[in-house]
Chain A
């Protein structure tokens, strides 16, 4: 945005124009106790050179995948982004287009969105996809709203405890005042217990929310969970990892009715947690309840293929009171990047990326558990690219701080999400990690408690 001056002269001119004498008088309608009554707590202004140096110094303090070997996961992943993604997505036609939805002027953008939807349908094995939502967590909440709004089912939402804790918090936030009962199924073994899932579902269950691969990296038996849920007529919502579908069965093949995901892994960097890409695909039964935009392919009056926004009567600008969602847009640029990424990799490339993640993650788990103070927490169940380690010395923060000093972002401490897991952390290994890095992290962890010097990456 442009920088707008706001000098005392400007303020005086504006006040005169409005017909009030002072800022105080302008804010007269705002109750006294709600007013700040002091200047904002900001440092004084700087010249351009000084400001550039100041911001560079601040930026240099950041640890990122550019400065450290990144083993962080838990919803945001350091996957490889081919250079062609940036080159194509940064073309002005895409990059600076404003509300690129009008068919008269936006055929290229609409086609790109249509291709995205097609790719997502192929990827997930679902009937239809919207043109994307904002991120994986809110997409999950929107999926639950869609299930609640479709057909006549109960109002209980069953959520597995292995779903990302922040996603579960988002669900609580969305439904806190709506009288929707959220039932969480504990997963103490890091994977759903089918008997417990079955016991938590009854005739008033509207939908069952499962994440696979789940927050701990474990691959859930979605097909079995779906079968149990469908016996009670409940909708099955799966939150998935798009990269994992290079190896794992698709949500549509496992019996999911709605599939949602955080899609930034497809061609967009971690970028400090956002903006991200919410993927949502579903079966035909939801076509009139699907939130967001849908692009459809049709023919113009000359019989030529063209693209338009379709089924818009779902949307809140047509009928606010009956719309599933008040989301009337999408993450166009990130959806485009996902399309480019998937097109560049193709099914073979995606399989390769997923295979590398799995192989390297399993190698890393094997190596890291050879470290004396580290042990695996959820042994035995299959995992994709993430796994949980326990620090038997109970000093996760110290361990990770030392690793950070040595050039590694070693994992996500789990105590912040699960009080009983204060001594655990989540390690993620993407295709970008090398054997050298994994071995060096192993040596670093093993030297941490001996006080020896660490090996730099």
Chain B
């Protein structure tokens, strides 16, 4: 089974510097999250609340989206529906063409990554300028984000300094963090000047009031959404919540889980374009609601829990597999545990099914998820969907990973373990023949000594030691 993912795994594990960078960053984020929730009881009740709010949002998704469209429209926000990423790109393009914009300022948005917006706009001759520091760094390096809240987490200070030196030779060279951020700030200020269009993501959209919530730490998001004449917000349809009073709980969970901050430096609540008498803000606000497979996920009562996600990345930060691989090895927009349940559903099990296998099911992700998505349970379910022969399933690529040899082995194993006499005869035989057991069992023994079969099974030893068979 040599897939693209398998090759990427090997390559990722050989990159010691990247692994070290990611590990250090992860450890820092794990510590910060722990300190942000000093009281375990409070943390758990907050998680209960968050899970309930998000479960309600997902359960009522169709009606909440309709309400959101109504309230947003009432606020003067123009609402667009996009079934696929390509549709969403076309909508963005249409808005930009109408506004006569040949460039766009971008705040951080994973949905725009999902759409492949930057490449699309480039092909149309429109420049997309990232403004989030992490996004700037990876844009300069021609890379994709390796983490959903810290896109350049795999790079250390020296690498960023070298990148800046190469791309901004006119600026004074920077080494320290403060110098590097100051340099980025200087360069960015020039970029913000005179731009006619800005694009952002959405953390939560409130159906009740037609409000778009956006959190950030650098202020670039606020500049993208207020400075240009046109603001385009893109969001996955699952980001809707019913009421404004549910937002504080979710924000508290989001920022504490993500970076350990009680609140981010900026919390933007966007409720429409500039009104008469207001001094700033865009003259037009567009909201693009992207489905891209989400309504299919929504159709399954168990898997739809995937849509509760608030993109805090705590699952990534605590995942031992992500810590070893980093985000790029997954080859998807969303990496780590959430990516491993989301991407196989968005793209199909035939294409991304192996991601659901790249987990030891250790449960660290579910232990920290602020909205209690049962990630290991859903991974198990996706593994089942991948090999299941059951007739009907809404899951894309259902049954596509069932292999004749593998399923034959499991059937044989199952028959043996379901027939205790056969099981005992087999284990007895293996015990007697244990000297013939191979000492090399690749890939297991590439890095480990092989376990040795015992001469006498516990079944036989228990009987010999006088333990009775029946009550």
Chain B associates with chain A: no
Residues of B near any A CB (own CB < 8 A): none
